[in-house]
Amino acid sequence: MRLRRGRFVFISFLLILALVYPVIAEARTIPSLCKIKHPSDTSIEWNCKRLKKGESIESLFGDRWVDVARFNRIDRRHARPGVYLKVPKRIDDIKDFTPMPLYYKPAEPEPRFILVDLSEQFLGAYEHGRLVFSSPVATGEKGNETPRGEFRITAFDRRHVSSLYFIEGTSELYPMHYALRFHISKDYVSYWIHGRDLPGYPASHGCIGLYDEEMQKKYYKYPKKPVLEDARRLFEWAVAPAGDGDAFHVLKDGPKVLIRGYAPGTASSP
Q: Where in the chain are the domains? A: 31-94, 105-260
pLDDT at 171: 76
State pLDDT tens for residues 160-196.
Answer: 888 777 777 777 888 889 999 999 999 999 999 999 9
User: Virtual CA dihedral for 250, 114, 88, 223, nearest 10 degrees?
Assistant: -10
pLDDT at 14: 42
pLDDT at 174: 87
Selected residue with higher pLDDT from 11 and 241: 241
Rounded to whole angstroms, how far apart are CA atoms 269 and 173?
30
State pLDDT tens for residues 146-163.
Answer: 999 999 999 999 988 887
* pTM of the entire predicted model: 0.86
Question: 71: closest CA among 115, 136, 14, 27?
Answer: 136
Please name the fold of domain 105-260.
Answer: L,D-transpeptidase catalytic domain-like (2.40.440)
E strand or H helix at 13, and its extent? helix 2-29
Give the least confident one: 32-46, 71-85, 157-171, 227-241.
157-171
> At 12, which amino acid appears?
S
Asked if residue 244 lies in contact with residue 234, where contact means CB atoms within 8 angstroms, the answer is no
Asked if residue 205 lies in contact with residue 139, where contact means CB atoms within 8 angstroms, the answer is no
